[in-house]
């Protein structure tokens, strides 16, 4: 049986002067998805990249067998809708947003799905998850922030484990095929604990791009997940 787990390196911690090469390297190292952190200096106090960069990098996210590696766009922006559509046009496969950044969460989800992408909701460490109950039929991905969004390299906040557990129950009860992704402070030495809590998809920025050998880190994470 193939592994249910996915590892999504965040290029936020990559060398910005060589992003194309970084994406190729991390794909060659076994990345399942490419996580793309979009920050607007409004919703979060930092500024990264937009749809044009996404479009340029997508061509580099290709496996040796020619398969496209999904581009997992994490929008930390407010407002959401116009940029979500721009990222759909730029070739994003999954687009997630923070419900507190959209005035009309259901409409934003419809917009993303209507543009042919999978749609995700992101929950900050202190955010309640009750909104999910009302839109779970439209959601393909739930992303739990285990740090406060805005920066790579922060420490994992433990309360995320409890939130992951609650979300796992809701997702299983829905019977729908929804990915449960975790973002922030994921390392080789805590990934197993996070999987045990119920997560199946793991964003890792500094843990991967902070080391020379990306494959060694991704392989070590998979070994932990297979234990």
Q: Within a 10 A sphere around the Cβ of 195, how many other Cβ atoms?
A: 21
Q: How far is the CB of 72 from ligand DX5 (least distance, A)?
A: 10
Q: Name which position in 91, 120, 149, 198 contacts ligand DX5 (CB under 6 A).
A: 149
Task: For residue 183, indicate whether it is catalytic.
Answer: yes
Rounded to 5 degrees, φ, ψ at 207 are: -60, -35
Q: Which residue in 37, 72, 140, 200 is the catalytic one?
A: 37
Residue 226: phi and psi, rounded to 5, are -85, -10
Catalytic residue among 32, 40, 93, 183: 183
Q: Does 150 bind ligand DX5 (CB under 6 A)?
A: yes
Which residue in 38, 70, 206, 225 binds ligand DX5 (CB under 6 A)? 206
Question: What is the size of the binding site for ligand DX5 (CB under 6 A)?
Answer: 21
Q: What residues make contact with Zn ion under the rule CB under 5 A? A: 37, 74, 183
Q: Is 9 among the residues that bind ligand DX5 (CB under 6 A)?
A: no
Q: Which one of Zn ion, ligand DX5, none is in contact with 79 (Cβ closer than 5 to 8 A by kind)?
A: none
Binding residues among 87-146 for ligand DX5 as defined by CB under 6 A: none
Task: Please identify, among the stretches 24-32, 47-55, 149-157, 165-173, the one whose residues bind ligand DX5 according to the rule CB under 6 A.
Answer: 149-157
Closer of 110 and 153 to ligand DX5 (Cβ)? 153
> Can you tell me which of 110, 153, 193, 219 binds ligand DX5, judged by CB under 6 A?
153
Contact call for residue 77 and ligand DX5 (CB under 6 A): no
DSSP secondary structure letters along the chain: ---S-EEEEBGGGS-GGGHHHHHHHHHHTT-SSEEEEEEBSSSSS-B---HHHHHHHHTT-B-TTSPBPPEEEEEE-SS-HHHHHHHHHTT-SEEEE-GGG-S-HHHHHHHHHHTT-EEEEEE-TT---THHHHHGGG-SEEEEESS-TT-SSPPPPTHHHHHHHHHHHHHHHHT---EEEEESS--TTTHHHHHHHT--EEEESHHHHTSS-HHHHHHHHHHHHH-
Which residues are near ligand DX5 by CB under 6 A?
10, 12-13, 35, 37, 74, 147, 149-150, 152-154, 183-186, 203-207
Catalytic residue ranges: 37, 183
């Amino acid at each position: 049986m193939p592994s249910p787990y996915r590892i999504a390196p965040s290029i936020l911690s990559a060398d910005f002067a060589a992003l194309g090469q970084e994406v190729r390297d991390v794909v060659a190292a076994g990345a399942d998805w490419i996580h793309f952190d979009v920050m607007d200096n409004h919703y979060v106090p930092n500024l990264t990249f937009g749809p044009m960069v996404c479009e340029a990098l997508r061509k580099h996210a290709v496996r040796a067998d020619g398969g496209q590696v999904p581009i997992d766009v994490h929008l930390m922006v407010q407002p959401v809708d116009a940029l979500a559509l721009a990222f759909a046009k730029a070739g994003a496969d999954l687009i997630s947003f923070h419900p507190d950044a959209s005035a009309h969460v259901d409409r934003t989800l419809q917009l993303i799905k209507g543009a042919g992408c999978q749609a995700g909701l992101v929950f900050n460490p202190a955010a309640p998850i009750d909104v999910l109950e009302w839109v779970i039929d439209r959601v393909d991905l739930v992303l739990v922030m285990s740090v406060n969004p805005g920066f790579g390299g922060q420490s994992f906040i433990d309360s995320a484990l409890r939130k992951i557990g609650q979300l796992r129950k809701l997702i299983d009860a829905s019977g729908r095929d929804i990915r449960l992704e975790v973002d922030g402070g994921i390392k080789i030495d805590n990934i197993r604990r996070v999987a045990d809590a119920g997560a199946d998809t793991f964003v890792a920025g500094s843990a991967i791009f902070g080391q020379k050998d990306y494959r060694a880190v991704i392989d070590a994470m998979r070994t932990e997940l297979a234990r």
